[in-house]
Amino acid sequence: MALLCGALGAAVALLATRQRWAEGTATVAGGAFPLTAKGSDVTGVPAALAIVGLAALVAVFAVRRAGRLLVSGLLTLSGAGIVAAALAAAADGSALDEQAAKASGDTSATVDALTHTGWPYVAAAGGLLILLAGLLALRYGGLWPAMSGRYERGTARPRRGSRPADPERPEEIWKALDRGEDPTGA
pLDDT digits (tens, 9 = 90+) for 76-129: 999 999 999 999 998 887 888 888 787 777 777 777 778 889 999 999 999 999
Quick check: is 167 in a domain? no
CATH number at residue 23: 1.20.140
Whole-number pLDDT of residue 56: 94
Whole-number pLDDT of residue 118: 93
Quick check: is 69 in a domain? yes
Quick check: is 102 in a domain? yes
Quick check: is 177 in a domain? no
Better pLDDT: 136 or 165: 136
Q: How confident is the model at residue 148 (pLDDT cuts 50, 70, 90)?
A: low
Provide the residue range defining the domain that includes 60.
Answer: 2-147
pLDDT over threshold 80, residue 63:
yes
Count Cβ neighbours within 10 Å for each residue of 57-89 and write b for 16 or more, e otherwise.
bebbbebeeeebbebbebbbbbbbbbbebbeeb
Distance CA 70, CA 169 (A): 55
* Tens-place pLDDT, residues 159-174: 565 566 566 777 887 8
* Tens-place pLDDT, residues 24-61: 888 777 677 788 888 888 899 999 999 999 999 999 98
Quick check: is 166 in a domain? no
- Could you tell me which residues are beta bridge partners of residue 27? 32
β-pairing, 20-28 vs 112-116, is antiparallel
- The model's pTM: 0.73
Quick check: is 65 in a domain? yes
Number of domains making up the chain: 1
Quick check: is 152 in a domain? no
Quick check: is 182 in a domain? no
